[in-house]
Structure formats: structure tokens, C-alpha cells
Structure 1
């Protein structure tokens, strides 16, 4: 089925390109070319809708068949020998929360790589990141362990604070254009040579997080990235004690996150999602909720 969908979509793209070429080369065939463009557009819409529903179905099936108990030691997933994760940082509180959740007491990250995605102009997040990595390096040095490796990618800010909604689509598009290389270009080290894509993508509420998840979804829709890679893990900000943030609502209603959890029971009950507790203060990763794929 996957192969037939790919062939169908490629044929539609070729037909669309041929129609556009025909219009530019022979205006007399405008009517026929217009019909071809319309038919190709409909075919692409059908393909996109079918593939989107297919991905949502796969995610829903995995959620229903895997409901581990975080309190059970038997349900906890062991860390893989090599891993590569991407963390979406947001300005101010979002970044601080994310770094607190990453601080789980573990300090041996040999063959682990962390990639941080930061919005342009967010110097506060860069400062927080620098302090965190320095602290981790010092801890690992004192215990004679490896802090692993990390890098950062700067992308166009999807939406500035108080930015008018009418201008957001343009900046969001620019942001997505920057996000694709951050997802697809592997680290220039041993981990990057073995793992081409991030195993998991973590976000906790900044607007850029939704567009990162959207970019991941598009890459999987077009079969560029396997479904087993780039698992989107969304943890609603601890500050959201009664309602979801706009980013949370968008991810919930589109269904493009592989794991969606909140940190307050009231929010979880209101929207019918899983409550993971106050992860910010528990300082533990979601290894007991979503295991890393074998290899990406």
C-alpha cells in the first residue's frame, strides 16, 4: 500500500508539473491544462488526507496498546547504548522547564547526542543552555563519566510575543523552512554516522514546537522519515494548571504528537489526556512513557 501511494503521489506531481509547462508553452491548451492541474490537485489532496489519517491511526493504535505504569520498575524502558534526541527550547520559562526536566540525575551520556532548537533572537535560551551544559560537563567530570555531545540550531521565530495573527503564517513558513535541515542533517560525530535522525523530539509549549511537530509529520507523510523515528513527545508546561496552551491545543486536535501528557490532573481530565505528574520537579525523563526506537 505504501508503495502504491508513493507512485500515485509522484504521478500526480509529474502531471501537475507537465500541466504548468504546457500553459507556459502553449496558451491554446489552457483549458485542458487547467483540468489537469485541478485533477492533480485533487489527487494530491486525496493522498495527503489518506496518509494523514493513516499516521493518526497508527499513533492511536500504539497509545491504546501501551499504557505502562510509571511506578512499576518492570515497565521502565532501559536507555539504549546510543541515542540522539532533539529538544525544542522556548524563551524564558519554557526553556528553564525543559532543562529542569532533562536534569534527571543521570550523568553518563557516552554515545548520546543532544540537539537544541532555538528561535532567532532568543538569547535568554542560549544563556540557559550554556549554563546547563557547563553544569552537566562539570558533574560528569567529577564522576569521571562522559557528558556526551550536543549542538544547537537557530531557526526563524514562528511567532513573536504580541505578533499580529495575520502576519504569523509568513514567519511560520520561514520557521518551517529552517526546521527541516535541523531535523534532517545528522550531527557531525559518531552518533550522527550511526543515527541519521533524532529518535525523539521533545517540546513543552513554545509556538515553534507545533511547527517542529508539523514538519516531522510532513516528513513522515511523504515517507522521507520512517514512522519509528522522530517520535514527538509533548509535555504541557507546568504553568498550565487549568487549560492547555495554544500549542497544546493545536497538537491535541491535530493529533500529530506521538505522546501528549500534562503535568496537572485537572488539565488531563478536562481534555482526556494522560497526566504524567509534575515532571519539572520530579526531574525524570519520559523513558517510562515512550521508548526510544531501535535505530533511526
Structure 2
């Protein structure tokens, strides 16, 4: 009778010990794997983006890029950086991630894609294809810090399917995952980068896919934004660019110059 009463206690201790062992093993694996990926990233020297004086040379292979849009001017800035004034988007798919409730970004995106399609028709070229996905907002302006983990988790749960579901067209038939991901400061950008990093940590996607490229907002002239600092210290981004020399020197980053002004020439 005495031994029988001790059995639940013994089982509970064994279970707790097994859980602790599993947690420690998982922590060691994640730490080692993170260090491995970061070291490989450091070995890759990303060039300073050139100022384009002519049409970009694009190969015939398909391309699939994902762009993180955000309120507060981030979307407009991202679209201006994308807008180089040329059309050569055959077999090129653009996926946009927009936070829920961000109707302004949705409006700017549709306006941009309409103008791009018009420009490409004028030049008898292909504008490629695009789609957009909505995710839960990671953090709203003035949102209490203590509620942020919950909304951030909801955002990440929305992000994983977006990263893993290919476009429903010819490009998606050849490319299952985004080749490159771009962000320039919205909070959602950090969680997109984190989600891509987690997928690589656990060997769910290849390391050479979902290259996360962060371009700090042009408005950050002396220090990094909160999103930039999170990416800088976690080393989640594959490439990290800033647009001002002072910030580049301060953090040891690549100064890409004022990319926000790399916009389309006004149409005649």
C-alpha cells in the first residue's frame, strides 16, 4: 500500500525530469543551430546596391519576392525603393504582407501596381504577377507592452502559412518559397524575419531560400529603429542596410545611400 502511494510521486518526478531534459536539449540545439546559420551569413558579403543608370539585367529564371508593408510611411517608402522605372518582370512574382486594418497600405499598393501595369503596357513588357496576404498586426501604436506577446504570437501564426504557401501560378509551380524577403521597419517585418529564421533553424526550408533583407528606414538618420535594433542584435536578417553614413559607421553596417529616392521618372 505504501509503495503504491509513492508511485504517482515517482511518475511525476520522472515526467518533470524528462521535460527539463527535453527543454535543455532543445535550447542547446537552437543555440548551436542559430550560431551556425549566423556564422554562414557573416561569410557572405552583400554588395552595396548600385544606382541604376539603365534597365536592370534580369535572367530568364523565375523570381519570387516577398515585401513587408507597414503603416506610418513604411509602405510608401518601400514602394518608392522598388520603383526603378523599368519593366522586365517576366516570370516574376511579388507577394505583399499587410497588417490587418492597414487600409492605407492596401490603397498605396493597389495604386502602385496599377501604375506599374500601365507603364509596362506602354513599354510592351510584362509586369509579372502579384498577390497580397493579411496578417494580424504584431503591435499597434500605443499598445501596452504587456499585451504585445499575445498579438505578436497571433501575427507569427499568420506568417508561417504565408511563407510556406507558393503563388498559384507558373512561378509558384517552380518556386515553392520566396527567394528574398524585404522589410524597411514595420514591427511585422521583424516577425516575418523571425519566422523565416525559425523555419531554417529546424531544416523546414533550405538556408538559401527566404533571404531576409532589411533596409532601415530613411527617416532613421542617427540611430536604428526598434525593429532595426531587434534584427541587429538577434542577427536574424541575412543582409542589413542603412541609408545614412552616420548610422552605418555607428553600427558597422553597409550604407546603401538614399534608396528611398530611387523612384520612377515622371511619365510624359
Output the TM-score relative to the length of structure 2: 0.91
Q: 1:256 aligns with which of 222, 225, 236?
A: 236
Q: Is 1:88 aligned with 2:74?
A: no
Instruction: Give how far 1:78 is off.
Output: 4.7
Alpha-carbon distance between aligned partners in 2 of 1:144 and 1:172, rounded to the nearest angstrom:
43
Instruction: Give how far 1:72 is off.
Output: 11
Instruction: Give how far 1:114 is off.
Output: 0.2
Q: Is 1:36 aligned with 2:9?
A: no
Q: Is 1:61 aligned with 2:46?
A: no
Q: Is 1:209 aligned with 2:189?
A: yes
SS in 2 for 1:84: strand
Equivalent residue runs for 1:52-131 within 5 Å: 52-63=34-45, 67=47, 70=50, 78-79=58-59, 81-131=61-111
Alpha-carbon distance between aligned partners in 2 of 1:59 and 1:208, rounded to the nearest angstrom:
22
Q: Is 1:47 aligned with 2:29?
A: yes
Does the CA contact (< 8 Å) of 1:92 and 1:124 recur in 2? no
Alpha-carbon distance between aligned partners in 1 of 2:222 and 2:19, rounded to the nearest angstrom:
47
Q: Which runs of 4+ in 1 moved over 4 A?
A: 66-69, 76-80
List alignment gaps of at least 5 residues for structure 2: 1-7
Instruction: Give how far 1:79 is off.
Output: 4.5
Report the RMSD for the aligned CA atoms in angstroms: 2.0
Does the CA contact (< 8 Å) of 1:92 and 1:125 recur in 2? no
Cα 1:80–1:172 change in 2 (3 A) is farther
Does the CA contact (< 8 Å) of 2:69 and 2:75 recur in 1? yes
SS in 1 for 2:182: strand
Aligned residues: 256
Alpha-carbon distance between aligned partners in 1 of 2:143 and 2:49, rounded to the nearest angstrom:
41
Alpha-carbon distance between aligned partners in 1 of 2:71 and 2:63, rounded to the nearest angstrom:
26
Does the CA contact (< 8 Å) of 2:138 and 2:187 recur in 1? yes
Greater share of helix residues, 1 or 2? 1
Output the TM-score relative to the length of structure 1: 0.82
Q: Is 1:192 aligned with 2:172?
A: yes
Instruction: Give how far 1:104 is off.
Output: 1.0
Instruction: Give how far 1:283 is off.
Output: 3.8
List alignment gaps of at least 5 residues for structure 1: 1-25, 285-296
Does the CA contact (< 8 Å) of 1:112 and 1:149 recur in 2? yes
Instruction: Give how far 1:257 is off.
Output: 0.4
Partner of 2:3: none
